[in-house]
């Protein structure tokens, strides 16, 4: 099959993220099919920016996303429990600060 006869369904899947307002985090909008990043960005704009939903878009090939699985939550997050200094409860508030309240 030549490039000219390829259909949209044979193109790679891209995940679309948009930023609703300046300073806000990006949110997942959905997915689009496209042959390359440039076309994926255009398809994302055409699909998800029709009502001015965002000010910026990211597109990422779906097969490039690496994620943890819910069933791995225990082993994945257990190492965080070995670092109590990362929790605010680990630190005590100095008396001088407590008196100012």
pLDDT tens digits, residue range 46-64?
999 877 778 999 999 999 9
What single-letter DSSP state applies at residue 51? T
| Furthest C-alpha separation in the chain | 77
Return the CATH superfamily for domain 13-94.
Answer: Phenylacetic acid degradation B (3.10.20.520)
Q: What pTM does this model have?
A: 0.64
The Cα–Cα gap between 3 and 1 comes to 7
Contact between residue 64 and residue 14 where contact means Cβ atoms under 8 Å apart: no
Structure tokens at 37: 């990043």
Please say if the pLDDT value at position 41 is more than 80.
yes
Token pair 């605010």 is at which residue? Answer: 88
> Higher confidence at residue 16 or residue 96?
16
Contact between residue 62 and residue 13 where contact means Cβ atoms under 8 Å apart: yes
> Higher confidence at residue 21 or residue 50?
21
């Amino acid at each position: 099959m030549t490039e000219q006869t390829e259909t949209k369904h044979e193109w790679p899947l891209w995940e679309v993220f948009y930023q609703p307002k300046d300073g806000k985090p990006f949110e997942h909008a959905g997915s689009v099919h496209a042959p390359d990043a440039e076309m994926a960005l255009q398809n994302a704009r055409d699909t998800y920016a029709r009502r001015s939903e965002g000010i910026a878009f990211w597109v990422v090939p779906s097969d490039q996303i690496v994620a943890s699985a819910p069933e791995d939550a225990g082993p994945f997050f257990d190492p965080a429990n070995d670092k109590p200094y990362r929790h605010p409860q680990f630190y005590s508030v100095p008396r001088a600060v407590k008196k100012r309240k």
